[in-house]
Each structure stands twice: as C-alpha cells, then as structure tokens.
Structure 1
C-alpha cells in the first residue's frame, strides 16, 4: 500500500454501502478455487490471471472471458460445474474478511443506515449473507438482479441510496475491486477501497480515491470523522 497519509473523510456519511464479495466475505478466493478445480476436472488449461480478471465484474464478464478462451458450449458446462461446487461452499458459510463485524457493529451502534450493493444475483447473495450471519446487519440488499446494468455502471449503488432514502453524495462506499470503485464514483458517492486479491494499479490510483489496507483502517477513518461530527 502507498505510504502517503490517507486524507480524512470530507463528511459524516448518512449511509454506508458495502460491496459483498472480497470486501465482507472471502468469496473471491472461494469462487476462484471452484473455477480452477472445475476447469482442471474438465481438461481446460486456463491461467490464474483469468480468474483475477473476473473479480468484481459479474456474471456477464465471467461468461465472456471464458467463452473467448474455451467457446460458448464449454463455458456453459464449466459454469454449471462451478455453480454446483460454489453453492455447497456458500451454504456452509463463507469466511468473513477481517474486521467486517466490528465495523458493522459500530455502524449499528451509531444508527448509520447500511446497505449491500453487489454484482451477485439476488438468490445467491441472500443465501451467502444469511449463511455468513451478516444479513441481519443491513437495511437493504441490492443486487445485479435488481438493475439493468452491472458495475462499473452506477445502477446498483444508486438503487441502494434510493432504497435507504439517502442522497448519493452523502453515501460512503466500501469496495475491494476497481470495477466497484468506478461504479461508486459514477454514482457520485465517496468510495474507500480495501483491496483484496487485486492490488490497485496506476490507472486505479489515478482515480484519486481513498485506498486503505484493511477494514480496520476504514473503520479508523470513519471513527475519526465521527469524532469531528
């Protein structure tokens, strides 16, 4: 991470909107492991970098990248195998990313509204949040099933703000992926990026948003702003 001091939040947010995969749940590693295992079982020699390209992009991007490598028919078979594997992992409860519960408890205590804005389809998103014990923390869950365009379009973030009844400019967004950061910026929100498997490159850093190395660091940013009022 950059050694440059992180500037304080410019405002006290009226709501905090969370990405899900890679931000709250350690699901990027879980789905990548399922992808790699299914590809190996089906005889596809696919590089690890392909799975990293899919992070934060939603179903459409995953299908397109796979189809470019192995064709449409093989992609359908591969994703069916992955879905079966991943469903079992999700239903068992995916591990939390460090610090997420502490941050959510702080927001609950301060009565700051909370929403999820995820590229995952609604049925799976709800199952994952429930199995991980996080669903109860949120006032709204907005998914790719609920909007016309996935991230990096701003749709799911704008829906989350509207559902909470909060102006986008007063929403703080927590994201792990560059795709999600771009969606939050397009929505007119203030993102704080907590990278997981993808380290921000120069193009991402040029967006000039706040980047921290953990949810605990994001919580410290918020606590500093709460102290100011």
Structure 2
C-alpha cells in the first residue's frame, strides 16, 4: 500500500521521546518487571505494554489495580533505582534519529520535544544520550496540566516554537501520543515501537511508517516538491 504524501510543508517538527527517539520503552519495562519480580510479583507483559505512552499517574493507577498502593510504591522505588543506572549510561538511540535531526538542521526547520516524562528525568535522558542540544524547546508532562492524550503538551510545544499547530508535523510511536497530536490539530506520523497499531488506531486515519528513515524520506519528498504553501490544507 502506497504511503500518501505529506499534505503540507511543515514549519516545525515535534518529537515524542521514549520509544521514538530513545530505545527506552524496553528498558523501562525491563526495570519495572525486575523490580516487581524482586517483590514477588510476576506480572504479565500485557500490563507493562498498557503503560506505554501514558503519564506517570496512569501507570501508577494501573499498578495500584494490579498489586495495591503499598506494593506499587515499593516496586516503583526499586524500578527508579534500576532505571537511573540505565539513564546514566545513556539510553540508546532509536534507528534513524540522528539522520532525521541532521536533515532538519540542514534545512533550518525548528523542532521540539513533547514527552510524557517528567522534566528532570527527561532532561537527564536527553543530555546523557547527546540529544538535548538538538532541540529548540523541551516540553514535558511537568509543564502542562493534562497529559497525553490531551493536546496540552503539543500545543505548548507549538507556542514554544512560535508556530501554528496546523503547521506542525508530529513524530510519535504510541497511540496515546497520536491522539494527543490529532487533538492539537497537528499532523502525526506514527513509527510504532512496542505497540503495533490495532484497528481502532488505524481508523484514526493518520500516517503509519516502519521507521524514522521512512519518515525522513516522506518529509524529503515533500520539501523537494514544495508546491503548496506552508501549513496544512
């Protein structure tokens, strides 16, 4: 099936972080699962996958339902210790992120991060991975009242860049992030990581691609044609 071309020339590109730029979702799940096992809880993988793309509050609630508040606190505290060691070592990049950022640099296209991670951890992860200087704005769940799938964080990113939301291309891996971008009036391109889009996600009608390299080629084709005015039509 042919991927339709981008219907507009983006004035800015907004990136999710975990699972899109950084191969961190697997590390987060591994740390949570290990912490749970250490506390005597062998929880199913479907529980961990259900947390992908969601805010910390949602993840805490899911753990509350599975093991209760007391055990949840114990598991989260231990998982944070395990994950801090991963972050300090530098979370690996997802394939294609450097080529995409270099491409945007060469063309002077501004970019922002919009992540459900809290600000202190997000900054540590981006700095340790060498990506922090590559962005014009960093927007986190600490900076908005309502997390994804609400549009708040994407609208904040657009304001931070001084760009109309309709002129923003969003790169996301999770369905939650895609819904947030659509609610913000932006054009999302999804590059799935751990969660393959189901029928309900595909019904949203957005573009789904296998990799960041494919997303870069899609943008490159649009910029090469460049026959439409800036902004979604």
Q: Which structure 1 residue ranges, 4+ long, deviate > 4 Å from structure 2?
A: none
Q: Which residue of 1 aligns with 2:201?
A: 204
**1:148 shift after superposition:** 0.1
Q: Does 1:146 align with 2:143?
A: yes
* Secondary structure at the counterpart of residue 19 of structure 2: coil
**1:85 shift after superposition:** 0.7
Q: Which residue of 2 aligns with 1:218?
A: 215
**1:73 shift after superposition:** 1.0
Q: Which residue of 1 aligns with 2:48?
A: 51
Instruction: Note the aligned Cα RMSD (angstroms).
Output: 0.5
Q: Which residue of 2 aligns with 1:38?
A: 35
After superposition, give the CA deviation of every residue in 1:167-193 in whole Å (9 maximum; x if it has no partner).
Answer: 000000000000000000000000000
* Secondary structure at the counterpart of residue 31 of structure 1: helix
CA distance in 2: counterparts of 1:200 and 1:5, whole angstroms: 17
Q: Which residue of 2 aligns with 1:128?
A: 125
On the 8 A contact 2:53/2:176 being kept in 1, the answer is: yes
After superposition, give the CA deviation of every residue in 1:72-122 in whole Å (9 maximum; x if it has no partner).
Answer: 111011101111110110111000000000000000110000000000000
CA distance in 2: counterparts of 1:150 and 1:162, whole angstroms: 17
**1:228 shift after superposition:** 0.9
Greater CA deviation, 82-91 or 15-24?
A: 82-91
Unpaired runs of 5+ residues, structure 2, are 227-233
Matches within 5 A, 1:5-24: 5-24=2-21
Q: Which residue of 2 aligns with 1:195?
A: 192
Matches within 5 A, 1:176-187: 176-187=173-184
**1:45 shift after superposition:** 2.0
* Secondary structure at the counterpart of residue 174 of structure 1: strand
Q: TM-score, normalised by structure 1?
A: 0.98
* Secondary structure at the counterpart of residue 169 of structure 2: strand
* Secondary structure at the counterpart of residue 33 of structure 2: helix
Q: Which residue of 2 aligns with 1:84?
A: 81
CA distance in 1: counterparts of 2:147 and 2:89, whole angstroms: 27
Unpaired runs of 5+ residues, structure 1, are none
Matched length = 226
Q: Which residue of 1 aligns with 2:115?
A: 118
**1:58 shift after superposition:** 1.4
